Structure 1
Amino acid sequence: MNGAARDVVVRELHSLAEFQEVARLFDGIWRPAPGGEPVTVELMRALSHAGNYVAGAYGGDGTLAGASVGFLAAPAGEALHSHVTGALPGRGAGLALKLHQRAWALARGLERITWTYDPLVRRNAHFNLVKLGALPEEYLPSFYGVMGDAINAGDESDRVLAVWRLTEPRVTAAVRGEPVPAEVPPDAAAGLEDRDGHPAPGRADARVVLVAVPGDIETLRRRDPGAAKAWRHAVRDVLGGLMNEGAQVIGFHQKSCYVVERRI
């Protein structure tokens, strides 16, 4: 665990005051439209009372730096679905929450944790695939429909389902701080490239295909909505198309592109 994450204390939450604090934190992160909160105080209360996962990450000064809410998923006794995790940047809270969540799940005999994330957000892809060792296993177009928060407004809510198989070697290595990089063979094809901030489709018929994502999709949504939309549809077509055909994402290369392998 890095130094920032070591200074974070994570614990389960049970009181209304704690859930209200989480709601305020999430409002500050997402700035949702009224009624568009990622999770309500009442739902956190119900999930916690029913034995699901609601946890907060506190910095050395005792302030809430991050929180995560999840629920047990089907098949029963096998998985936890992490519905929403929000953390202030630069505090190590995101990693600390995930490591706590993993320990929580293993203590209950669970095999995996799943969550969705926007495949266009580079830092999330790197964090999920490289630092944690999770892998995307399903592409979900417009999964949440129209979203009105400050981060996602004006874009379609495509997501990929990340699956964290908690005891696999790549995961145990990653949580020890030894992430396993994806191997990129010399004959890998560029299925999607970044050319001057715009998506440029290439070959997607090779055994290994690289699928680039933009450098900062959140800023691009504000500055050039047309380019952001082009990236959304290009990644949906190339990455989503490959995954729908049965190809598997095996890593994220140089903090810039997915490595996708066809199973032959």
Structure 2
Amino acid sequence: MNGPEIRELHAMEEFATASHLYAGIWGTGTTGPPVSAEVMRALSHAGNYVAGAYEDGRLVGASVAFFGDPIATTLHSHITGASMGRGIGLALKLHQRQWALARGLKRITWTYDPLIRRNAYFNLVKLGARPEEYLTSFYGAMDDAINGGDESDRVLTAWDLTAPTETPGPGNVSEELTGAVHALRNRAGRPETAPADAATVLVDLPDDIEGLRRQDPAAARDWRLAVRHTLGGLLAEGAQVIGFHDRRSYVVHRIPT
């Protein structure tokens, strides 16, 4: 099966369709989409990246990015939304990568919710990007269908475009797991923290944080605080996320001092 057609968007009608798509994905309604058609128009006109993915002439994904700091080296990907399960998100990111390389850029950054397992797996394993900084409540509380009123903790993640294009798999971190200990474990659906002085630390995630926000907001809040304290604390200390194990655990390595 051929993949989606990816192309830059330029017409106001295209931006309006992309804005409507975002509103549907995030459940915000058309009066409050994550990005408006007017903002996309301005970013595109100024030379930034606004692209859409099409299947049979229908828009099924879109991505918006703008030039970031350091100037002339970085593209910051603000939002990417796509229908799940058909490789559309990956196709958009690879198109974005080629667009950035054609302009002499060396890396792409973006933020994502560190509690969402599929996003962590996609970013770390399929793309080979790496978290660099933990940002507490970056956008404040977000009351859309995905965030469910939760605080918007994010990790700033960087994709090194100069690295080999072969993406790593979960097995690439298996050697690093020798002697690893859990600083945060998923214990029957609840977060359980423990002292962890090892060089390599595992940070588990909940099975389905989006469902938990709807069904048990208190438990979702516990997970938010536990990951903030554990993963956020490790990154603040200078530790590095080196992979994602078994589709559920960040693998974090402390740098010797």
Normalised to the residue count of structure 1, the TM-score between the two structures is 0.93
Contact map agreement 2:23 2:29 (CA 8 A) in 1? no
Residues paired across the two proteins, number: 254
Match of 2:201 among 203, 209, 213: 209
The amino acid of 1:173's aligned partner reads E
| 1:239 counterpart residue number | 231
Match of 2:63 among 50, 54, 68: 68
Contact map agreement 1:118 1:159 (CA 8 A) in 2? yes
| 1:56 counterpart residue number | 52
Contact map agreement 2:20 2:33 (CA 8 A) in 1? no
Establish whether residue 44 from structure 1 lines up as the match of residue 37 from structure 2: no
Normalised to the residue count of structure 2, the TM-score between the two structures is 0.96
Contiguous gaps of at least 5 residues in structure 1: none
| 1:154 counterpart residue number | 149
Map 1:8-47 onto structure 2 (within 5 A): 8-32=4-28, 36-47=32-43
Match of 1:182 among 164, 169, 173: 173
The amino acid of 2:140's aligned partner reads G
Tell me how far 1:203 sits from its aligned partner.
2.7
Tell me how far 1:165 sits from its aligned partner.
0.5
Tell me how far 1:193 sits from its aligned partner.
0.4
Contact map agreement 1:189 1:203 (CA 8 A) in 2? no
Contact map agreement 2:143 2:150 (CA 8 A) in 1? no
State the SS of the aligned residue for 1:173: coil
Contact map agreement 2:23 2:32 (CA 8 A) in 1? no
Contiguous gaps of at least 5 residues in structure 2: none
Match of 2:211 among 204, 219, 222: 219
Match of 1:139 among 134, 143, 167: 134
| Deviation sequence 1:220-244 (CA, Å, 0-9, x none) | 0011111100000000000000000
Q: Distance in 1 between matches of 2:124 and 2:179?
A: 22
Q: 1:34 to 1:99 in 2, by over 3 A?
A: closer
| 1:192 counterpart residue number | 184
State the SS of the aligned residue for 2:19: helix
Contact map agreement 1:204 1:238 (CA 8 A) in 2? no
Tell me how far 1:185 sits from its aligned partner.
2.8
The amino acid of 1:182's aligned partner reads V
Tell me how far 1:204 sits from its aligned partner.
2.4
Q: Distance in 2 between matches of 1:239 and 1:145?
A: 19
| 2:166 counterpart residue number | 173
The amino acid of 2:200's aligned partner reads V
Q: Distance in 1 between matches of 2:154 and 2:5?
A: 30
Tell me how far 1:33 sits from its aligned partner.
6.0
Please tell me the root mean square deviation across aligned C-alpha atoms, in Å: 1.3
Q: Distance in 1 between matches of 2:238 and 2:82?
A: 33
Establish whether residue 114 from structure 1 lines up as the match of residue 106 from structure 2: no
